[in-house]
Amino acid sequence: MVRFKSRYLLCEVCVPDRSSLQLLEDRSIYNTLRAAVKRAHGDYGSALFNIGVIVKYLNAHTGVVLIRSRKKHYRLIWSALSFITCIENRGQMVQCFLNCLHVGGTIRTCQKFLVKYNRQQLHRMLPDCKTDEHVRSSLLNITDNSSTECCQTARQMVSAFCYITVYP
């Protein structure tokens, strides 16, 4: 049996209104991506897209999307991401664009990058927090960004940070 090598594109859905992320589904992102590849690369791109592209993961709260494609053709998918300006789901149009955060060979490397990225986001968000409640909500928001396997690392980071802030 032949093993097909894959590449995983870890993308962030950037929207002006965060509440519109709740409208997204993985199927709608898949259809929008397929249309963008067909528009950018024609029938050749559409045929390659149908061979091995799958939306593996979508977090509607944080806007993180994980797309799997074949190793030979991931650049074709990556180049089509810039042509997406809106995603249609159940008749509603969500104005957005996809920002590719990381390209990895396994889901595990993408998860590790996501934890590292969330940690950087946390350090960027915390100086803006004025009250303890705002800090707590930011910390809970960052742990929601983590996947199931990486939650333990994120929770350890949050508990260490809470310990530092409570017991200086």
| Separation in Å, CA 40 to CA 34, 35, 46, 136 | 10, 9, 9, 44
Percent of the chain with pLDDT over 90: 43
Containing 56, the helix (H) or strand (E) segment is strand 54-59
pLDDT digits (tens, 9 = 90+) for 101-142: 999 999 999 999 999 988 888 777 777 777 777 666 766 665
Amino acid 118: pLDDT: 84
Which residue positions in the chain have pLDDT lower than 50? 145-156, 160, 162-168
All structural domains of the chain, each given as residue ranges with its CATH number in brackets, are 6-105 (3.30.70.3250), 111-166 (no CATH)
| CA–CA separation, 143 and 115 (whole Å) | 9
| CA–CA separation, 36 and 147 (whole Å) | 28
Amino acid 18: pLDDT: 82
